[in-house]
Amino acid sequence: MEEASRISRYLYTVIVLFVIWLFLTSSLDPQELIIGALFSLIVAALTYEVFTEKGLANLHPKRIAYAVAYVPYFLWAMIMANLDVAYRVLHPKRPINPGIVECKTVLRNNVGKLTLANSITLTPGTITLDVKGDRYFIHWIDVKDATVEGASENITKPFEKFLKVIFE
Amino acid sequence: MVKRVLAIILILITGYWLANALAQVPFGADKMLVGKYYLENVKEQTGAVNAVTAVVVNYRGLDTLGEVTVLFIAATGVAALLWRKKRERTAKSEGSVVLQTGSKLLLPFIMLFGAYIFIHGHLTPGGGFPGGATIATAFLMLYLAFREYEIPHNVFEPLEGLAGMGYVAVGLIGLIIGGYFLFDWIWQTWQLGHANIGRLFSAGFIPIIYTLIGLKVGTELTGIVDNMVKEPKEGGQ
């Protein structure tokens, strides 16, 4: 992955930090804005090198639109998965079929891989155990398909269509 | 067995004494003598909305200076105890890609939040010590996620010293202007921020001192972590 220019990465970090500052203070008092801008500039100068690789390209409207759309999509998947696990807990026979499966991902970017791993873990029934290259090792409460392709179809594919646009 | 029984009996007796003594103080009664003075005068005298901060930095500033000194001695002591010429990290394996990417992403947010805590010390709970500890957590996280990570020592150690000296310098300026050490010259003499109570630019020298303490505590705790995660190189004692 080619890196964006230093200025672009620095500016992106400043913008993200300043937005976080606005949420933290929830105040538009000019004094808060001045200090917030100052701290954003300082902290960004110290951390932009590790924080971002693509810089301002992250703020592409299409990426933001997909990221905004991903939130309700993910929340819905989480609610359904929670209900599914609640059903398994309450069912007298406890219909579980646990196992560790291997999945493949099309994501190349580390941040994308992190988000995918966290999305998988936060939807109950699946837990990411380890990530190696493009391989995910996932503990699945109800193994429907133990092959690599089948498991990817069930676990990683639904998230990937969003994450691919957001992070690649 | 006898030892354990004796210890339990001793603890029970001590606990009974303490409970007896505390029972003498009725719960919820008005016990404030000095406290009342603080609460009634804190705004005009210091400009801080957070009374705890005003007491810690303004009314009883020497105690805070002592605390900062204790922390400095602790950091120096750890460094002196663990001092070796050749030292390297002890971690045997690299963290996973999830851990490493996650800590890279969180680093600026933790640092910004630490700064948020120490600059708002006179308005919200917190101050220099929690803010500094938060910033040190960010570096602890890097140390735990990356095997090779090392803080820039040539920046951290001078910064630590400068922040400590800055605190004393602010106090000494107070001594020159107002006649006693840690006199709040920004509030009392310059009257800066008097129209601003409750907003960010108020409370005299409290935000300045808390910024210095935040930097000092942050760099100091990071230095302690740095010393603790390294061990002598094999054969290089």
Q: How far apart are CA A41 and CA B84, in angstroms?
A: 37
Q: Which of B124, B142, B199, B200 to mutate to test the interface with A (most CBs of A within 10 A)?
A: B200
Instruction: Write the Ramachandran bin of A105: left for phi over 0, alpha for psi from -120 to 50, otherwise beta.
Output: beta
Q: How far apart are CA A85 and CA A13, in angstroms?
A: 39
So what's the ipTM on this one? 0.83
pLDDT in tens, B156-191: 888 888 888 888 888 888 777 776 666 776 666 666
Mean pLDDT of chain A: 82
The radius of gyration of chain A's CA atoms, rounded to the nearest angstrom, is: 20
Beta bridge partners of A142: A97
Task: Please report the pLDDT score of residue A98 as a whole number.
Answer: 83
Task: Please report the pLDDT score of residue B192 as a whole number.
Answer: 67
pLDDT in tens, A106-122: 888 888 888 888 888 88
Question: In this complex, do A43 and B113 lie within 8 Å of one another by their Cβ atoms?
Answer: no
pTM greater than 0.90 = no
pLDDT in tens, B27-60: 776 777 788 888 888 887 777 888 888 888 888 8
Task: Please report the pLDDT score of residue B236 as a whole number.
Answer: 46
Residues 129-168 of A with CB under 8 A from B: 130-132
Q: What φ, ψ does residue A102 adopt, rounded to 5°?
A: -110, 135
Q: How far does Cα B58 stand from its chain's mean position?
A: 16
pLDDT in tens, B77-102: 988 888 776 677 766 677 788 888 88
**3-state SS, one letter per residue, for B137-201:** HHHHHHHHHCCCCCCCHHHHHHHHHHHHHHHHHHHHHHHHHHCCCCCCHHHHCCCCCHHHCCCCC
The whole-number average pLDDT for the span B140-150 is: 83
The whole-number average pLDDT for the span B103-120 is: 89
What tokens were used for A134?
């493009």
What residues have CB less than 8 Å from A23, skipping those under 6 apart? none
**Residues of chain A positioned with their CB less than 8 A from the CB of B201:** 31
